[in-house]
Structure 1
Amino acid sequence: MDLLETVLAAHRAYLLGWNIGTTGGDDLVTYRSGVRHAPLNGVLRASGRPPQDALAEARVRLDGVPRIWWAGPDSDAGLADSLVPLGAVPLASLPIMTAETGSVVPVATPAGLRIAETTDLAEFVAAYGRVSGIPADATATAIAREQAFAGDGTVIRLAGRFDDGPIAGTAVAWLSHGVLTLYFVGTQPEHRRRGVGAAMTAAAVDLARRHGISTVALTSSEAGKALYDRLGFRTVGVFQLLSF
């Protein structure tokens, strides 16, 4: 497996850890958490299926929940463009980025910020949910799914706090397929522009080193890409995200 294939496999493994629905075969891989938050329900891969058939089946499997389609390098070429005439709506192009732990640019931790693993899922999910857009009345479902998470790997949840106060920054470190992949990297609005996001990323890189992992991966928003570029991450692929 080359690096990109490995990163994609780790990504699928993480989101499938949320799944309570039908996964399907390699030709159409879906996951359904039941949380009313589109990134936690969707299509991970479609290969060797006519787009119209794949779309119709995905709509059946994911009926009743907000969902997204990750059209990435592990799906058929041109899939995103094929889905649009069938009613799918393009949302964003997200860069898939990686860095070797030894090449990540060091960053200073903001004064007073302490970053440590947390097992308080209620507080942690409420914090990342506020940043990522999980509705308040869906938080309890997200907490329950975190508690029941059963992916092919290890989850370490990092919380950053100023002077032992409420959570200021979050990061989920997913150790799978020999890489550490980052999810839910976010800063509470009242603590932004203080370097919290960079510090949370740096803490995950340190965690990777301690576990003997040399590669860190993430899927960035366009807004966050400049930060990851500065830290030494490079783009190795792109996800086209669509609603359907």
Structure 2
Amino acid sequence: MESLDTLLAAHRAYLLGWDVGTSADPELLTYRSEVPHATLNGVVRVSGRTPKDALAEARDRLDGVPRVWWAGPDSDAGTADGLLSLDAVHLADLPIMTMKIDRPAAVPTPAGLHISETTDLDEFVPAYGRVSGIPPAGMRTAIDRERTFAGDGTVVRLAGRLDDGRIAGTAVAWLSHDLLTLYFVGTQPEFRRRGIGTAMTVAAIDLARERGVRVAALTSSPPGEPVYRRIGFRTVGTFRLMSF
């Protein structure tokens, strides 16, 4: 299994791919997409800076956009507690999960669902944006940022369509650092509880395995953790997600 450091490096590479050029400061890694959605703007790591100084600098760089702070195992010890003492707000503890993908997953695709790669961002981004909470006013910016995405890796966008062509599920497969990392796995609200999210996850895993990748990783919401455990993922770390 890949080290936690490698998983975190792949995660940083994806988030920094959204950045429009805020800073390359290795002690305080920030990314700013201009999309009005908190997880697409934020701090991904701090090292060698006091929480007070880091918080002031991050607020300056990310002024005017919703943002989050990923306080994870790659940040200085005590970062989260230090930020909370300075009025940052705890949002959630997000499990970092991983699994080996050296064999096909025995999960059937729901009847009537057809999963394939898509390059139609005008259709795909609004589909995942609706699930993840990107407001309609920010959708054009999100589409533009996807078009100019420049991370250190390869993005594969998967759409799960019904027989009538509607997108019911999405997944973004990020191939970087010899890993698959999953983002924007989601199901449209009217099609939930049919196994579509699980099918999207498995499709991304199968795609990565066929390309020679043998480890998958993701950051789950707390409610999603049991779902991913049933597929075979295991928790190896935690992000403390905060607003500031």
Q: Tell me whether the two structures share a fold, i.e. TM-score over 0.5.
A: yes
The amino acid across from 1:114 in the alignment is: H
Query: For residue 40 of structure 2, what is the aligned residue in structure 1?
Result: 40
Contact 1:104 1:233 in 2 (8 A): no
Aligned to 2:24, the other structure's residue is in SS state coil
For 2:74 and 2:137, the matched residues in 1 are separated by 34
2:28 corresponds to which residue? 28
CA RMSD after TM alignment: 1.2
Asked if the contact 2:99–2:233 (Cα under 8 Å) also holds between the matched residues in 1, the reply is yes
Q: Take 2:228 and 2:90, find their aligned partners in 1: how far apart are those partners? A: 24
Number of the residue aligned with 1:53 = 53
1:162 is matched with: 162
Pairs aligned (count)? 244
Inter-partner Cα distance in structure 2 for 1:2 and 1:64: 37
| Partner SS, residue 137 of structure 2 | helix
- How far, CA to CA, are the matches of 1:35 and 1:135 in structure 2? 9
Counterpart position of 1:75: 75
* Structure 2 partner of 1:172: 172
Following superposition of structure 1 onto structure 2, how do residues 194-233 of structure 1 map, counting pairs within 5 Å?
A: 194-233=194-233
* Offset, 1:23: 2.6
Distance 1:147 1:164 in 2: 26
What is the aligned partner in structure 1 of residue 144 from structure 2?
A: 144
Is the CA contact 2:104–2:206 (under 8 Å) kept in the aligned structure 1? no
Structure 1 position 103, deviation (Å): 6.2
| Deviation of the 1:21 alpha carbon | 2.8
Query: What is the CA deviation profile of residues 3-50 of structure 1, one whole-angstrom value per residue up to 9, with x for unaligned ones?
Result: 211110010100111100323322100000000000000000001101
1:107-136 CA-partner distances (Å, limit 9, x unpaired): 111001100000000110000000000001
1:110 partner letter: P
- Does the aligned pair in 2 maintain the 1:21–1:61 contact within 8 Å? no
Cα displacement (A) at 1:102: 2.9
- Say yes or no: does 1:111 pair with 2:117: no
* Aligned AA (1:231): I
Deviation at 1:63, TM superposition (A): 0.3
Report the CA distance between 1:205 and its aligned residue: 0.7
Q: Partner letter of residue 76 of structure 1?
A: D
Residues 1:193 and 2:193 aligned together: yes
- Alignment deviations for residues 128-152 of structure 1 (CA, whole Å, 9 cap, x no partner): 0000000011000000000011111
Q: TM (normalized to structure 1)?
A: 0.98
Superposed displacement of residue 78, structure 1? 1.8
User: Which AA in structure 1 matches 2:191?
Assistant: H
* Shift in Å, 1:183: 0.2
TM-score (normalised: structure 2): 0.98
Secondary structure of the residue aligned to 2:20 is coil
Query: SS of the residue aligned with 2:173?
Result: strand
* Maintained 8 Å contact 2:94/2:219: yes
Whole-Å separation in 2 of the counterparts to 1:8 and 1:95: 12
Task: List, as ranges, runs of 4+ consecutive aligned residues in structure 1 with deviation greater than 4 Å.
Answer: none
Distance 1:156 1:24 in 2: 26
In the aligned structure 1, how far is the partner of 2:93 from the partner of 2:104? Answer: 24
Q: 1:222 to 1:7 in 2, by over 3 A?
A: same
Structure 1 unaligned segments of length 5 or more: list them: none
Shift of residue 179, structure 1, vs aligned partner: 0.1
In the other structure, the counterpart of 2:87 is: 87
Deviation for aligned residue 1:104: 7.0
Identical counterparts, % of pairs: 69
